């Protein structure tokens, strides 16, 4: 039995969405400058939602976290610190960060700078003896405060995927299927919804 027109449009739309999700992930990891050699990737992932009706196709690309906005647009200085939970163990592992090592270096630098032979007050615990989980939690607060104070530079990754001509090709493919010209609308959201494409 031959596929209906709606089935064909849905197949083209799903294929487009799948490829877009893959390429957004690659583009994001390149923007974050993750080395390809060790296969390191961001903890942030993307997914798609495709809905095809008799006369339209709606494609949504959804991020697993709103953090994609901070990567794409950056974050201004002296703003409210992000939740430290978002910079915890999972985020640190995805960025190849050893919290225990960094905390130990902070202690040594503090001692050297202040000419101390022993660590004082808040730095009294030796990070060497901390579990990875506890060290990661302590470091997440430091990261959050630093980001709130210094901000994050923008590392755009969405536009370079969308502006490569793929949307025009997708629209043309749908137009060829239905035998008439179509309009394509792209909308951006400030939540986990990265974009909405309607044809």
The answer, yes or no, to whether residue 113 has pLDDT greater than 50, is yes
The answer, yes or no, to whether residue 187 has pLDDT greater than 50, is yes
Percent of the chain with pLDDT over 70: 82
Out of 9-13, 33-37, 47-51, 145-149, pick the least confident: 33-37
Domain co-membership, 42 together with 90: no
Q: Hey, which of 14-28, 47-61, 117-131, 171-185 has the most confident mean pLDDT? A: 14-28
Q: Which domain holds residue 66?
A: 1-74+153-199
**Please, which pLDDT band fits residue 24 given cuts at 50, 70 and 90?**
very high
Domain co-membership, 58 together with 93: no
The answer, yes or no, to whether residue 42 has pLDDT greater than 70, is no
Q: Which two tokens stand for residue 134?
A: 């506890």
User: What is the pLDDT at residue 37?
Assistant: 43
What order of strands is seen across the sheet that includes strand 185-187?
A: 46-52, 57-63, 193-198, 185-187
Domain co-membership, 158 together with 147: no
Q: Which two tokens stand for residue 146?
A: 């630093």
User: What is the pLDDT at residue 192?
Assistant: 84
Q: Which sign does the torsion angle of CA 46, 51, 52, 57 carry?
A: negative
Residue-averaged pLDDT of the chain: 79
Domain co-membership, 115 together with 158: no
Q: How many Å apart are CA 30 and CA 12, to the nearest integer?
A: 27
Percent of the chain with pLDDT over 90: 15
**Please, which pLDDT band fits residue 129 given cuts at 50, 70 and 90?**
low
User: What is the pLDDT at residue 195?
Assistant: 82
Backbone φ and ψ for 35, nearest 5 degrees, come out as -65, 135
Domain co-membership, 147 together with 102: yes
The answer, yes or no, to whether residue 120 has pLDDT greater than 60, is no
Domain co-membership, 4 together with 63: yes
The answer, yes or no, to whether residue 21 has pLDDT greater than 90, is yes
Number of domains in the chain: 2
């Amino acid at each position: 039995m031959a596929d209906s027109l709606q089935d064909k449009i849905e197949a083209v739309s799903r294929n487009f969405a799948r490829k877009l999700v893959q390429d957004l992930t690659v583009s994001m990891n390149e923007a974050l400058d993750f080395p390809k050699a060790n296969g390191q990737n961001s903890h942030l992932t993307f997914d798609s939602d495709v809905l095809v009706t008799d006369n339209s196709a709606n494609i949504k690309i959804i991020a697993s976290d709103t953090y994609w906005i901070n990567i794409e647009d950056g974050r201004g200085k002296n703003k409210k610190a992000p939740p430290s939970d978002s910079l915890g163990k999972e985020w640190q592992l995805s960025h190849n960060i050893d919290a225990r090592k960094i905390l130990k270096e902070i202690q040594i630098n503090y001692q050297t700078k202040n000419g101390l032979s022993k660590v004082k007050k808040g730095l009294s615990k030796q990070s060497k003896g901390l579990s990875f989980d506890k060290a990661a939690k302590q470091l997440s607060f430091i990261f959050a405060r630093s980001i709130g104070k210094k901000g994050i530079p923008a590392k755009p990754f969405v536009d370079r995927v969308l502006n490569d001509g793929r949307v025009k090709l997708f629209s043309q493919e749908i137009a060829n299927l239905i035998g008439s010209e179509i309009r394509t609308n792209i909308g951006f959201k400030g939540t986990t919804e990265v974009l909405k494409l309607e044809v």
